[in-house]
Copies of this chain bind each other. A is one copy, B any other.
Amino acid sequence: MAKYPKIPEATIRRLSNYLKCLEDLENRNEKVSSSALLANMCNVNAAQVRKDFAYFGEFGIRGMGYNVKELKFNIKEILGINREWKIGVIGIGNMGSALLVYKDFLKQNYKIVAAFDIDPVKVIGHISERMGRPVEIFHVDRLKEVVKVREIEIGIITVPPSEAQKVANQLVDANVKGILNFSPSPVSVPKHIRLRNLFFTSALDNLIYYLSN
């Protein structure tokens, strides 16, 4: 299934950033970008930008640069986000609700096709008051069943930290392929499940380290 040679993890992280910058360029009606411009926007070296792309093909035109639209398309293909991904959100508190209506998800191919909570009735009122597009909310006991029927591949955990590992276990049992943990408690899962912990405080910790030192 490996379409490409071994790629540095850092390259994959940067691809997401290039994509955000390309969207920005597109909004400003720029048709073409040099590696130097992209590099500058992302605070990396221009050779780095070219090398990152070179792992996957020759996307540029010598003397000209990269076509913004084409490059965007190619990066999406590389990342695998050129198709729709079905997502379930578990835990409809403040953060979960925010994600349900998060416009940047709607713009991408990320489709939140179901939400879960221990108190779906209370939550339905809470959500409907603030949502444009409705997302059906289920009791978390129905997780496995709904994951199967709605073909959910990715679970996003937004429950309180004390419940995070339990929910992670339930997601594994429900056969999701990947988990994105937004709760501030680290969870662990079997090796065949892909996991990313996204701790908000980490970004602040990091910022503050460089402010202090």
Segment touching B, from A46-54, A96-104, A141-149: A96-104
Chain B, Cβ-Cβ closest to A160: B103
Give which listed residue, B16, B154, B203, contacts A201 with CB less than 8 A.
B16
Complex interface: chain B residues within 8 A of A205 (CB): 15-16, 19, 79, 81
Query: Which residues of A (1-59) have their CB < 8 Å from a CB of B?
Result: 1-4, 12-13, 15-17, 19-21, 23-24, 41-42
Chain B: minimal CB distance from A80 (Å): 3
Cα of A213 to Cα of B204 in the assembled complex, Å: 31
Assess whether A175 is interfacial by the CB under 8 Å rule: no
Cα of A204 to Cα of B104 in the assembled complex, Å: 12
Chain B: minimal CB distance from A29 (Å): 14
Query: Which residues of A (55-110) have their CB < 8 Å from a CB of B?
Result: 78-81, 85, 93-95, 97-99, 101-105, 108, 110
Since A41-B188, A178-B208 are in contact, a sample of 17 more A-B pairs with Cβ atoms closer than 8 Å, ordered by chain A residue number, is A1-B212, A2-B213, A12-B210, A16-B201, A16-B206, A20-B184, A23-B185, A78-B209, A79-B205, A79-B209, A94-B102, A108-B204, A110-B204, A154-B204, A154-B207, A178-B207, A198-B203
